[in-house]
Amino acid sequence: MARSAVVARRTLTKPELLPSAVADLLREQVVSGTLAPGQRLVEASLADALDVSRGTVRDALKELEDEGLIENIPRRGTYVVDLGPADVREVYDLRAGIEMRAVRLVVERSPTGASQAQLRQIIERIEKAVAAGDGRRAQELDMVFHGELYRLSGNHRLEDTFRRLLPVMRLVNRSRHQLFPTLADVPREHLPLVEAIESGSVAAAEEAINHHLAHARDLLIEHFDELRALQEAQSPARAGVGR
């Protein structure tokens, strides 16, 4: 039986911002794993824990559902999404489509030395996080790096699409920093792309981003497959049975 969500009791401020404040709180708990995959979210319990109205919680949950972080199952309730290999593939297929376009635009716009330096500075920040052994921070900066690519593309709609996908990308990538043989591989994954952009070759840049995303996708799919196999081995009676 799925566990119902339990959140720390707290009083939120600025009533006019309550739905977004609740959404922000729950989003971070989903992405961090505090609210676990498959965990049930009970509207009344959340409203009581956060000292807000059920309508406020309902609006917040709708926002998270639109982002793909939770799902409403008819006659069952609302649950944190339990992602699998197929979800990873879909997210990365979508990322590849829009990110290859963004990278092409970056190269075609002939970014200035300052813009290229900004990308290298983010890689340096990733390296510092790696040196400190902070994998989660390195992963956060990975998203900053990719967000900068979209900004440099000059296409605001592409950038907006990336922003809308960011919550589910963060959820998919939550454990990615643990999958590299060493944390030092995290910044190394980005260098070929920056060098390709600096070379002015669209083909090289597209190949670099495609390789980067495909490598990340394959690592995650392997990880999800291993987790599912472990879960099924621990619960033979539930093997192959969906919710």
One domain, residues 73 and 193: no
One domain, residues 56 and 93: no
One domain, residues 138 and 36: no
For tokens 């090289």, name the residue: 204
pTM higher than the cut 0.95: no
One domain, residues 107 and 210: yes
Residue 152 domain-assigned (yes or no) = yes
Closest Cα to residue 202, out of 118, 110, 117? 110
For 175, phi and psi rounded to 5 degrees?
A: -105, 10
Gyration radius of the chain over CA positions: 20
- Provide the residue-wise pLDDT of the chain in tens; the chain has 243 residues: 455 555 655 555 555 558 899 999 999 999 888 999 999 999 999 999 998 999 999 999 999 999 999 999 998 999 999 888 899 999 999 999 999 999 999 999 887 777 888 999 999 999 999 889 888 888 889 999 999 999 999 999 999 999 999 999 988 887 665 555 566 777 888 999 999 999 999 999 999 999 999 988 988 888 878 777 777 787 665 444 444
* Domain, as residue range, for 69: 15-80
Choose the final residue of a domain: 29, 56, 80. 80
Task: Please give the pLDDT value at position 121.
Answer: 95
Structure tokens at 235: 């619960």
State how many domains the chain has. 2
Asked if 126 contacts 187 with a C-beta cutoff of 8 angstroms, the reply is yes
CATH number (domain holding residue 35): 1.10.10.10
Length of the chain: 243
Task: Please give the pLDDT value at position 112.
Answer: 75
Closest Cα to residue 168, out of 16, 25, 27? 27
Strand bridging mode 70-73 / 77-80: antiparallel
Residue 75 domain-assigned (yes or no) = yes
CB-based contacts of 238, cutoff 8 Å, min separation 6: 231, 232
Task: Please give the pLDDT value at position 13.
Answer: 56
Residue 123 domain-assigned (yes or no) = yes
Task: Please give the pLDDT value at position 68.
Answer: 92
Task: Please give the pLDDT value at position 204.
Answer: 96
Structure tokens at 113: 């030395």
Structure tokens at 3: 């566990």
